[in-house]
Amino acid sequence: MRSIFLGDGFQIGRVYHRNVAALLKEEAGLASDTVFSSADLGVKDFSGVEYVFSTWGMPVIAEEDVRKFFPNLKAVFYAAGSVKHFAPAFLKAGVRVFSAWKANAVPVIEYACSQILLANKGFFHSSLLASGGDYRGGASVFGRFPGNYGCPVGIIGAGAIGSGLIRKLKEHRLDVYVYDPFITAEKAAELGAVKVDTLEVLFSTCRTVSNHSANIESTKGMLTGSLFAMLPEYSTFINTGRGAQVDEKGLVKVLEARKDIFAILDVTWPEPPEKGHLFYSLPNVILTPHIAGSSGSEVRRMAEYMAEEFIALKNGAAPRYEVTGDMLASMA
């Protein structure tokens, strides 16, 4: 076996469409559609395996076991997003890791862009009133919103999702501001945004703020109640990053006090919110159950990215989606 599927059989079957699997059999020497798991380590002989293809459900394997059971492994191709849970051991063992994180960013960008455009039109505020029977009230509050042309929008985080979202928003002639300690003002300008140095400036300036910051220790709880209180009248906060980055008690207090602020939350901490949490009952909160990422047929895009990356590597082309140890510190 030169290449194998490793991980969760259901997920691999869902992500690696038969056309991609056939391509990998031809190009990567994938022996069969068999999916191996961590239970096969020490039972099956993987000494000849050079490439592993996986997705959600990739097992965490200790560095010493990577070296022991996969002595000739060259690379892991992960058709999903974050690799933080398994990549360090493989990288330390000298195995290259490739991830379809940029492919997984595409639907999140589409989701966030659509929510931002609707928010700037007053969709969430006006529809709440109109659907509740106050049609005139909905029409009236609609007039409090600026629309999209030239509207100041704040993006937190300029990784694959944040950067892609900035580019997408510029197509709609929005004024985009970005907060990210890892990006320079020059790079932000190239993307089409103005870099701000503090979250206070971002929140007090922008009518819609969308969170896409990296899931690292320093970002936990960084979005405080005092920041939400700085939002201009009739503003919207959108979170497709991580729930733990939000001081949710502080957010609830602001949402209770200011009905003019709306929160669109695709992620929470914990997830889902505990029973009885005010997120379920506050009228100015919309919860979606972590749907921004790849779903349905969208997951196939990630497998296609990894198949293309393998062929590029095989042909000596420069990789596009390789993950290094240094990158892990700032990746979501």
* Structural class in CATH, domain 105-287: alpha beta
Q: Which whole-number Å values give the CA distances from 208 to 146, 177, 179, 225, in the listed order?
A: 11, 10, 13, 16
Q: How confident is the model at residue 331 (pLDDT cuts 50, 70, 90)?
A: low
Sheet with 322-323, side-by-side order of all strands: 30-36, 3-6, 51-54, 75-78, 96-99, 322-323
Q: How confident is the model at residue 326 (pLDDT cuts 50, 70, 90)?
A: confident
Q: Which residues, listed in sequence order, are joined to residue 4 by a DSSP beta bridge?
A: 52
Tell me what pLDDT residue 32 has: 78
For residue range 90-143, what is the model confidence (pLDDT) as tens digits?
Answer: 999 999 999 998 898 999 999 999 999 999 999 999 999 999 999 999 999 999
The domain 3-99+296-328 is placed in CATH, from the list 1.10.3720.10, 3.50.50.60, 3.40.50.620, 3.40.50.720, at 3.40.50.720
Q: Which residues, listed in sequence order, are joined to residue 49 by a DSSP beta bridge?
A: none
Tell me what pLDDT residue 65 has: 98
Task: Pull the structure tokens for residue 77.
Answer: 């191709």
Query: Are the beta carbons of 203 and 209 closer than 8 angstroms?
Result: yes
Looking at every residue in the chain, the average pLDDT score rounds to 95
Residue 270: asked if its preceding bond is cis (omega within 30°), the reply is yes
For residue range 271-310, what is the model confidence (pLDDT) as tens digits?
Answer: 999 999 999 999 999 999 999 999 899 999 999 999 999 9
Which of 64, 200, 256, 271 is catalytic? The answer is: 271
Beta strands in the chain (DSSP E): 3-6, 30-36, 51-54, 75-78, 96-99, 152-156, 175-179, 194-195, 208-211, 236-239, 262-265, 285-287, 322-323
For residue range 167-180, what is the model confidence (pLDDT) as tens digits?
Answer: 999 999 999 999 99
Average pLDDT on 237-246 reads 97
In the chain, CATH 3.40.50.720 sits at 3-99+296-328, 105-287
Name residues whose C-beta falls within 8 Å of residue 12's C-beta, 6 or more positions apart in sequence. Answer: 5, 35, 53, 54, 55, 57
For residue range 244-280, what is the model confidence (pLDDT) as tens digits?
Answer: 999 999 999 999 999 999 999 999 999 999 999 999 9
CA–CA dist 274, 254 (Å, integer): 19
Q: Would the pLDDT of 1 be above 70?
A: no
Average pLDDT on 307-323 reads 95
Which of 67, 96, 172, 290 is catalytic? The answer is: 290
Task: Pull the structure tokens for residue 168.
Answer: 């997408």
Query: Are the beta carbons of 213 and 235 closer than 8 angstroms?
Result: no
Does the active-site annotation cover 242? yes
Q: Would the pLDDT of 161 be above 70?
A: yes
Task: Pull the structure tokens for residue 286.
Answer: 């919309």
CA–CA dist 176, 153 (Å, integer): 5
CA 149 to chain CA centroid, nearest Å: 26
Does the active-site annotation cover 271? yes
Does the active-site annotation cover 190? no
- This prediction's pTM: 0.85
Q: Would the pLDDT of 332 be above 80?
A: no
Q: What is the CA radius of gyration of the chain?
A: 22
Q: In this structure, is the dihedral angle defined by the CA atoms of residues 81, 86, 87 and 90, taken in order, positive or negative?
A: negative
Which of 207, 242, 300, 301 is catalytic? The answer is: 242
Residues in the chain: 332
